[in-house]
Chains A and B, each alone.
Chain A
């Protein structure tokens, strides 16, 4: 059996000397290759610059979708960003693939800030770990009910209710 199609997507986050962060997502698939880079302010998490290129695509029309990407500068990585990026970049008159790459960058920025607290939690065991998760959730209430681990009934959120926030 051979592969009929393959996609490789990589997203990385780099800390810049000025304290801001750069997120870059690159995708290579059979008939499409592109990259998006965003610079994000810290701690405001505002997209302060964006650059993108489409290196391989299906139609010449695809290249026309790169210019409107500037519309995402000024957006803050937070609630509502998915809808706003899809509205400005994706849709019938845009490129949902570029919108997806921007959102991948945003997701990695969030995960980058989740990594350090998680490392501290994962160094603990048993009851200590559960208690550390409760503190983590009380600081990140958006995660309550976001997955099976943080759903009602999970020992990791024992005693924490959405109404508490």
Chain B
């Protein structure tokens, strides 16, 4: 029997050439949260964050919704993004909102990096060459894993 289940879904739209809008949903046996995050490029700065708590555990939890405003101005390129979000949004607000916000931030960076990959792959472009060309636009991903390791 399934004793616990959590699903997170993130979709990213590009309403303007310099704007990413991520919508995230987290649903598990305990919590139900939604989040909308807008990020502007080329700085990758959060310009808006709005959340909704559908299901939570304590009468204090909804006080975490306005804390999301503390995410405005945060750059996705910050080296300590995870600890910053966990501290500012998680500890000061709700750690599940922080979790979903980090999921949205990561999705936006992946979206930015892979934006041209489907097309490039069809043209037979090598992943390494694609990464070399694309990483200067999404420098936060450089050297983050074996596939994006640049000498």
Contact = CB atoms under 8 A, between A and B. Distances in A.
Contacts of A3: 11-13
Interface stretch (A44-52, A72-80, A149-157): A149-157
A14 B92 CA distance: 32
Q: How many B residues are at the interface, by size bracket?
A: 35 or more
Contact of A62 (B10, B61, B64, B146): B146
B119 to A, nearest CB: 12
Interface in B1-34: 1-15, 20, 28-30
Interface string A124-160: 0000000001000000000001111101001110000
B123 interface: no
Contacts of B64: 147-149
Given A6-B11, A147-B94, A115 B149 contact: no
Contacts, number: 156
B4 A12 contact: yes
Nearest to B20: A4
A13 B144 CA distance: 29
Contact of A59 (B91, B110, B127, B143): B127
Contacts of B143: 92
B117 A12 contact: no
B51 interface: no
A76 to B, nearest CB: 19
A112 B4 contact: yes
B145 A92 contact: yes
Interface of A: 1-15, 21, 29-32, 57-62, 64-65, 90-97, 104, 108, 111-112, 114-115, 118, 121-122, 133, 145-149, 151, 154-156
11 contacts: A61-B147, A64-B146, A97-B145, A108-B28, A111-B30, A115-B4, A146-B95, A148-B60, A149-B61, A149-B63, A149-B94
